[in-house]
Amino acid sequence: MDDIAATRRNLILTMVAGSVLSSSAVRGQDGAKVAQGPAGQFTALSGRIATPAAFGAKGDMTTDDTAALQACLDTGLPVIIPEGRFRITRALQVKPGQIVAGLARVGSGTGAAIVNTVPGGGCLWYTQDTATGQQPMPMIANLFLSADFPIRFNDPERGQIGDGPRSNIPYGMVPLVRGCRIVARDRGTGTGIAWTKMFDGVIEECQIEGFSTNILLQGCDLNAVRHNRSVLASRYHVLDLSVSSFGSQNIIEHNDLLQAGSDACIFVKSSGRHARIRDNYLEHGFTGASDASVRSFTGFIDASSVDAPHLGVNGGGERFTTIVANNRIDGVKYARDFVYRYEPAGQTWGEIVDPGTTGEPVSAGAAYLKLVDQTGRNIDAVPFLFNEINTCAFAFRSPGFGRWNGYATNTDPASTIDGTNCSMFGPVLFGDQAHRFVMARGNRIVVLNGLPSRASFSFASNDERFVSGHRYRYVLTARTVAGQETLTIGALGAGGGAPQSFPLSPRFARLSWETTVPAASPDRQGFYLERSNNGQAIEIERIEIVKCFADELPRIEGASATLALTGTEGEIVVEAEDGQGRRAMAVYRLVQGHLQPLFARSDDEAALSIRANWRSPHIGVAIVGSATRKAIHIGRTSA
């Protein structure tokens, strides 16, 4: 932001120079004295500053000063406008990088004013440049402006936003509007400040009142809208629109946004690629007014593409990250639809932090936090994956957010899976279009209707939580939201246990399934979920992955085996089988170095029986009987 700071310093120096010019004895650049007319208006040009009076402007609100002011601006010099009310009948075109400033800060009944009473008219525009490269933008300060469209930098209706030949307007560099009061000619009409394809600019310390949209950023990057007072906008106080790959990193911060001008008002709406809305004060309602006398309106902060207007030939752009943080909001009970509206789809990072405010709760029928898809339908869910590269991350924190209060996703590896850490599977979950149908709702995993095949949850083959040849138990706590559904769980890769299907009801139930990790593991291993698609969402509170044995010797072919134990306590399970489907099992308890039999069973003891002995730290197992083919599995279930 060094360029912006330097620009502002230059503006201040120019304004100081203008103040010096207004003294009784002022000399131009060549040292000649500059004459003055009545009321301190300049009647000549210095070599550095142009003034309206030198071109015949009166500033009496009766004379049409359009031609005089345009001639003054056509010099390309900085223009200092003294106190007065300058009436114009068409928008004035400003030169690249030109400074236009009132001689003093705008105050009640004082200062320099430019007024256009013609419907559809403007005050200070930069809209006739069709270059496609970078151009320095005007800097406007300390003026009272009134029109339907007082300030336009690039035309929002005819300007085509894009790169190179795809565009018909320049990249507007380092624009500035500062310290102005901007008032609608006809309340509820027009746009106060409209910037299109602007870069690295600042709108600050302005008071903007009564437009349909008080401030518009369309396809703008890296601009700051801050320290302004916006009043009675009928549609948007601030509207930040992305277009194609433009519309990124604009900061809307520390503004006073006061009162909805109509029941369709949304205080801040952003479809920006990387939106930043923070530390603003938003208020609706009047002290002492009855509820019946205060209009309701749509909502306060909308970070979605829902009903985002498309101006002229420009369509909408992509959305990636959104940060809405630490705004204070008063009058939530008057919001008819939402306090915050957010569209999670297409986002790689979404953060909404509301510190809360005093007052009555949100009105009936409205949502404090409304999660929607692009059609505006309330989905109340967030995706785990955005694309094959980026994992989504969301954080919603507020006393008023209900099930999302304190919610945050993370990518920390865990053997207990729920809606807060399913992102740990990263882009792998993208397979089979699962990213469209497996979402989070609060801390729960939601499997939406329409999942086309399997949702695969896979880990790297060298993941220390999953050891080839060992047995694991998956315990799911799940339900269907309504009606009947079937949930199937199975192993990824060949050699795991057979998949198992579970009928679900609207009541949560614990479902258990066991599998053995294949000895010859694929590149990735894990499990998958399938659903019957009867039409209702399936909610999963958690998936617990439990290794069945603390110490384990995977299934081996042979009549004897030895397992080294890591402790002298626990239960030991021995399973044996032959090639004809006969099985045997024995359970032993190891107590302070002594092996005690607890349970034994065999399909055919003559063919298959288990014998065991203990010599610390090893347990030796032998399978006896007439069976010609024997296999053994040994595991210690607890330490």
State the pLDDT at residue 14: 47
Helix (H/G/I), strand (E/B), else coil: 68: helix
pLDDT, tens digit (0-9, with 9 covering 90-100), for 590-637: 887 788 899 899 999 999 999 999 888 889 999 999 998 898 988 887
- Tell me the average pLDDT across 568-578: 86
Residue 534 sits in a domain of what CATH number? 2.60.120.260
Q: Answer yes or no: is 196 within a domain.
A: yes
Q: Could you tell me the residue range of the domain that residue 571 belongs to?
A: 551-636
Q: In what order do the strands lie in the sheet with 139-141?
A: 79-81, 99-102, 139-141, 176-178, 202-204, 224-226, 248-253, 274-278, 321-325, 349-353, 393-397, 407-408
Q: Is residue 519 a contact partner of residue 552, using CB atoms and an 8 Å limit?
A: no
More confident call, 639 vs 273: 273
Structure confidence at residue 487 as a pLDDT band (50, 70, 90): very high
Residue that is last in its domain, among 547, 570, 585: 547
pLDDT, tens digit (0-9, with 9 covering 90-100), for 50-73: 999 999 999 999 999 999 999 999
State the pLDDT at residue 109: 59
The reply to whether 492 and 630 lie within a common domain is no
Helix (H/G/I), strand (E/B), else coil: 320: coil
Structure confidence at residue 521 as a pLDDT band (50, 70, 90): low
Q: Answer yes or no: is 346 within a domain.
A: no
Q: Is residue 386 a contact partner of residue 273, using CB atoms and an 8 Å limit?
A: no
State the pLDDT at residue 288: 60
Mean pLDDT of the chain: 87
509-516 and 471-480: which strand pairing?
antiparallel
The reply to whether 79 and 205 lie within a common domain is yes
- Say which residues have a Cβ less than 8 Å from residue 448's Cβ, sequence separation at least 6: 381, 436, 437, 438, 439, 537
State the pLDDT at residue 427: 78
Query: Structural domain tally of the chain?
Result: 3
State the pLDDT at residue 4: 45
Whose tokens are 């004035």? That residue is 92
State the pLDDT at residue 421: 92
Rounded CA separation 382/170 (Å):
38
Instruction: Render 407-436 in DSSP notation, one character per residue.
Output: EE------SEE-TTTGGGGGGGGGGGGGGG
Residue that is last in its domain, among 176, 211, 246: 211
The reply to whether 583 and 537 lie within a common domain is no
Question: What Å distances lie between residue 441 and 380, 385, 418, 433, CA to CA?
Answer: 6, 14, 10, 19
Q: Which of 96-110, 366-380, 457-471 comes out lowest in average pLDDT?
A: 457-471
Which tokens is 263 given?
């029941």
Q: Answer yes or no: is 338 within a domain.
A: no
More confident call, 437 vs 525: 437
In degrees and rounded to multiples of 5, residue 329 shows phi and psi of: -125, 125
The reply to whether 122 and 60 lie within a common domain is yes
Q: Answer yes or no: is 264 within a domain.
A: no
Q: Answer yes or no: is 331 within a domain.
A: no
485-491 and 524-531: which strand pairing?
antiparallel
Whether cis (ω within 30° of 0) applies to the bond prior to 617 is yes
Rounded CA separation 447/559 (Å):
46
Q: Counting runs of H as helices and runs of E as strands, what totals does the chain give?
A: 2, 56
The reply to whether 507 and 574 lie within a common domain is no
Q: Answer yes or no: is 462 within a domain.
A: yes
Instruction: Render 128-190 in DSSP notation, one character per residue.
Output: -----SEEEPPEEESEEEEESEEEEES-TTTPPPSSGGG-SS-EEES-EEES-EEEESSTT-S
The reply to whether 159 and 99 lie within a common domain is yes
The reply to whether 541 and 559 lie within a common domain is no
The vertex-536 CA angle with 534 and 539, nearest 5°, equals 125
State the pLDDT at residue 291: 67
Which tokens is 40 given?
């301190």
The reply to whether 140 and 153 lie within a common domain is yes
Which tokens is 387 given?
């694309």
Residue that is last in its domain, among 165, 189, 211: 211
The reply to whether 58 and 172 lie within a common domain is yes
The widest CA-to-CA distance across the chain, in whole angstroms, is: 125
The reply to whether 537 and 516 lie within a common domain is yes
Q: Is residue 177 a contact partner of residue 137, using CB atoms and an 8 Å limit?
A: no
Q: Answer yes or no: is 363 within a domain.
A: no
More confident call, 375 vs 391: 375
Torsion of CA 68, 72, 74, 79, to 10 degrees: -140
State the pLDDT at residue 208: 98
The reply to whether 628 and 498 lie within a common domain is no
State the pLDDT at residue 23: 33
Residue 567 sits in a domain of what CATH number? 2.60.40.1680
State the pLDDT at residue 31: 33
More confident call, 402 vs 540: 540
User: Is 8 a residue whose pLDDT tops 70?
Assistant: no
Q: Answer yes or no: is 166 within a domain.
A: yes
User: Is 506 a residue whose pLDDT tops 60?
Assistant: yes
The reply to whether 531 and 616 lie within a common domain is no
